[in-house]
Amino acid sequence: MEETIKKHVSLAKSVLVKNRSSGYTIPSSSLYPHQWNWDSGFISIGYSHFDTGWAVRELESLFKAQWANGMLPQIVFNKSSLGSYFPEPDFWNTEVSPHAPEGYLTSGITMPPIHAFAALSVFENSRDKEKVKPFFVWLYPRLLKLHRYLYTERNPDGNGLICIRHPWESGMDNSPSWDRVLRTIEISSEKLPAYRRKDTESGVSHDMRPSNEYYDYFVFLIELFKKSRYDEKEIMKECPFLICGPLFNAILCASNEALMQISDILKEPYREIEQWYQLTAKSVQDTLYSHEHGIFDAYDMRTKRLLKVETASGFMPLFGGTATPRQASRIYEYLDSKSFCALHQGNCFTIPSYDTQKEDFKRENYWRGPVWININWMLMHGLRRYGFIQKADALAHHILELPIRFGFYEYYDSVDGRGYGSKDFSWTAALFIDTAYGTYLKKGADGGSGIAKRILFRNIVLNSTEESSGIEGTTISQKMLGAIREIKARYYTSRGTVDYASIKTSDEYREYKKITASLRDFDLSLLQSRNEKLAFWINLYNTIVVDGIIASGVQDSVRESARFFTKMKYRIGKYHFSPDDIEHGILRANRRKHYRPWSQFGPLNPKKKFSLTEPDPRIHFALVCGSRSCAPIKYYTPDGIDEELHMAAQNFINSSEVMIIPEENRILISQIFQWYRDDFGGRRGILDFIKKYILNDDKRKFLDESGNKLKIGYLFYDWSLNK
Ligand code: DGY
């Protein structure tokens, strides 16, 4: 594990340990001194990587305070830390409800139900699953009870769209989404009890917190709940704030999916949960999607209208898997635009909570602009399941970069990354840990020879038997690539993976194989110019790797077959070419693979005559190798090759493979640079290369000024196959 990431994973762990209270972890000591509902879900996911006991305890202590009707409270108060938060139990008065739990002090509202999703992660990440099982058995009926409460008490139209009745229930307390509805509430000072905010006395600036106007609404709604004795039917009749939002409903769907998996583990039936999932998913698609907006909106139950406001919650159906593929590509256009910090835009952090181009966007104010780690984290999962891998990786990058550079803050400035709100915030630390483990600490991801299972197989000539489709001329490699791209697009699953098994028996693949058979008659001397050679061989490399994966049935990683890159071959004319021949022998001008002492082609190898004369280091970012860290498949054309390689390099340098940390005088870069150091011209060459392609002005300036003091760390190369 790279040193800087390792150091910050341990700092993140110590944030959680420091924030421990009696049986749970508080979000932060300055602002939130009790147990919070969805915070505990995220926190348990962080613990699941290093302390299963605490991960379990976190959820257990929250669910012990579950209400008799199934509601899981937003806050469980610590009786011995009362006095520094508002509103506390004396204000909530939940004892007027027959459902409030005995022996626990809680608030009278709930929050987004991330808990089944979190519980499943705790189980999956635990080393000793049998030990976690009894907890699972205990938690399962409680999770069901929570979901059932939502579908019976919070589902006014019966269509599976679950409504919240207080902005705090949304998790995005002062989101601009609520402005219009809240401002219809007439509040006079006689209607409001006297109260004193404590959050602005905690050392966090007023500008970062909700306004006083918003607090009046918060309090007004609590008064209404108390009058209704927290009776849901009564509240449904009276409450002016009744909203079904995409964030809450997407999280519920993700948790319904997890709950089905938990049922499966416990061998329980899950028909009811499946119906919940389908009902909500359909209503999210049909009712919450705004075509005009290209985003999902919240729905106002009172006026039966969408609240068209451009917040990050509108992308959350990606997390719940509830956007149709069309809706997903439409919202992706907006998500990946200047409004929310586009890929390779430079000079910004993604995903801000509110469209940065709006007049009332606020850099530092709570849910009205800053970047939140939990939203990024859920969207990272969502983007991945819809196949937007590059963007998902960009989010992972920022989930790690922001805390490493600026500390474990509650939220961050989307322009310069400055941290806001409370310091040492638990879910930031927890999701940092989860992302670091998921992105950079995967098992077996050690690059070189390593511990991966070795499958020794014979040379496989992938184009030896099929009849040829008779294609001639230099465009053959592009035709092959075109066919592979279509096949991949067709067999992309909604989880963002490729169904290689179905490809293998498809007509499309059979047709593709006929094109590859034409290679046997291809005359390599047709490739004259350097540009023609570069485009031909890069495209060929990218197709042979995909073809090899399909043909060999390699499941998890191309590393599973240590000889994959030497044994898979295409016959071209008289010769057989493996991916290693193409990469090291031809494109890198016959150099050695990083862990081998000798050049790819020996002195007498006749294939040497096809080698390029000079390596172009940019090819490393154009060669796709069936691994996540490699670039997505693109066409390379003889006429456009320079620009195309420029783009490939630029995309890579501005991705999660390069992390610049000026505060530590450090740069973390992909192992590719370590392995192919000579292609780049050594340390100086690597840094010049990065400087040339980096899009963030401050980082370029930092690289310019740092000189020899700069420390370089290497991020491991992720060999897992994007199946
Ligand atoms: C707050 O800001 O105090 C809210 O309770 C957060 O849920």
Q: How far is CA 360 from the centre of its chain?
A: 27
Mean per-residue pLDDT, 705-709: 85
Mean per-residue pLDDT, 445-461: 47
Q: Tell whether the model's pLDDT for residue 555 goes beyond 70.
A: no
Contact 558, 627 (CB under 8 A): yes
DSSP secondary structure of 136-181: HHHHHHHHHHHHHHHHHHS-TTSSS---BSSHHHHS-TT-GGGHHH
Alpha-carbon separation of residue 597 from 62, 228, 591, 600, 676 (angstroms): 58, 78, 10, 9, 13
* Furthest-apart CA atoms within the chain: distance in Å: 95
Determine the pLDDT at residue 632. Answer: 58
Determine the pLDDT at residue 459. Answer: 78
Q: Tell whether the model's pLDDT for residue 717 goes beyond 80.
A: no
Q: Which atom of ligand 1 is nearest to the CA of 210?
A: 2
Between 17 and 460, the higher pLDDT residue: 17
Catalytic residue status for 393: no
* Residue 88: pLDDT band with limits 50, 70, 90: very high
Q: For residue 660, what is the DSSP state?
A: E
* Residue 449: pLDDT band with limits 50, 70, 90: very low
Contact 426, 43 (CB under 8 A): yes
> Which residue puts its alpha carbon closest to atom 5 of ligand 1?
168
Contact 408, 335 (CB under 8 A): no
> Which residue puts its alpha carbon closest to atom 6 of ligand 1?
168
Query: How many C-beta neighbours within 10 Å does residue 335 have?
Result: 26
Q: What is the pLDDT of residues 488-505, one digit of tens each?
A: 777 765 444 567 778 888
Determine the pLDDT at residue 455. Answer: 44
Identified catalytic residue from 60, 173, 274, 508:
173
Q: Tell whether the model's pLDDT for residue 451 goes beyond 60.
A: no
Q: How far is CA 664 from the centre of its chain?
A: 25
Ligand 1 centroid from CA 416, angstroms: 25
Beta bridge partners of 557: 720
Structure tokens at 542: 């990218």
Beta bridge partners of 592: 599
- CA-based R_g, the chain, Å: 28
Determine the pLDDT at residue 634. Answer: 77
Does ligand 1 lie within 6 Å of residue 173's CB atom?
A: yes
Task: Round to whole Å and give the CA distance between 672 and 552.
Answer: 25
Ligand 1 centroid from CA 626, angstroms: 44
Least confident range of 232-246, 248-262, 385-399, 548-562: 548-562
Task: Round to whole Å and give the CA distance between 81 and 5.
Answer: 34
Q: Tell whether the model's pLDDT for residue 723 goes beyond 50.
A: no
DSSP secondary structure of 594-638: TT-SSBSS-TT-GGGGG--SS--GGGGGT---SBTTSPPP----T
Structure tokens at 256: 């319904």
Determine the pLDDT at residue 407. Answer: 97
Task: Round to whole Å and give the CA distance between 458 and 88.
Answer: 70
- SS3 at position 583: helix
Q: What is the pLDDT of residues 320-344, one digit of tens each?
A: 999 998 999 999 999 999 999 998 8
Contact 318, 331 (CB under 8 A): yes
Q: What is the mean pLDDT of the chain?
A: 90
Three-class HEC string of 297-331: CEEECCCCEEECCCEHHHHCHHHHCCCCHHHHHHH
CA neighbor of 367 nearest in space, from 309, 320, 318: 309
* CA dihedral over 53, 55, 59, 61, signed as positive or negative: positive
* Residue 446: pLDDT band with limits 50, 70, 90: very low
Structure tokens at 145: 């009870």
Contact 484, 547 (CB under 8 A): yes
Contact 582, 534 (CB under 8 A): no
Its pTM stands at 0.85
Q: Which atom of ligand 1 is nearest to the CA of 36?
A: 7
Q: Tell whether the model's pLDDT for residue 552 goes beyond 80.
A: no
Determine the pLDDT at residue 448. Answer: 33
> Which residue puts its alpha carbon closest to atom 7 of ligand 1?
168
Q: Which atom of ligand 1 is nearest to the CA of 209?
A: 2
Q: What is the pLDDT of residues 361-390, one digit of tens each?
A: 999 999 999 999 999 999 999 998 887 878
- SS3 at position 354: strand
Contact 632, 489 (CB under 8 A): no
Does ligand 1 lie within 6 Å of residue 168's CB atom?
A: yes
> Which residue puts its alpha carbon closest to atom 4 of ligand 1?
168
Ligand 1 centroid from CA 349, angstroms: 24
Beta bridge partners of 352: 371
Determine the pLDDT at residue 421. Answer: 97
Mean per-residue pLDDT, 553-568: 69
Which positions ≥6 away from 598 have C-beta within 8 Å?
Answer: 592
Best residue for ligand 1 mutational test, from 173, 196, 211, 219 (most atoms within 8 Å of Cβ):
173
Nearest-5° angle of CA 204, CA 208, CA 210?
Answer: 110
Q: Tell whether the model's pLDDT for residue 355 goes beyond 90.
A: yes
Q: How many helices (H) and strands (E) does the chain have?
A: 28, 15
Q: Beta strand pairing status for 568-572 and 460-461?
A: parallel
Task: Round to whole Å and give the CA distance between 339 and 295.
Answer: 12
Q: Tell whether the model's pLDDT for residue 391 goes beyond 60.
A: yes
Task: Round to whole Å and give the CA distance between 552 and 455.
Answer: 10
Q: For residue 692, what is the DSSP state?
A: H
Query: How many C-beta neighbours within 10 Å does residue 361 have?
Result: 18
Determine the pLDDT at residue 551. Answer: 81
Q: What is the pLDDT of residues 128-187, one digit of tens each?
A: 999 999 999 999 999 999 999 999 999 999 999 999 999 999 999 999 999 999 999 998
Catalytic residue status for 688: no
Least confident range of 244-258, 294-308, 377-391: 377-391
Q: What percent of the chain has pLDDT over 70?
A: 93
Identified catalytic residue from 88, 153, 257, 410:
410
Place of tokens 């620009």: 643
Place of tokens 């630029």: 650
- SS3 at position 217: helix
Ligand 1 centroid from CA 569, angstroms: 60
Q: Which atom of ligand 1 is nearest to the CA of 111?
A: 7
Ligand 1 centroid from CA 37, angstroms: 11
Determine the pLDDT at residue 630. Answer: 55
Q: Which atom of ligand 1 is nearest to the CA of 107?
A: 5
CA neighbor of 431 nearest in space, from 27, 18, 719: 27
Structure tokens at 243: 């909203």
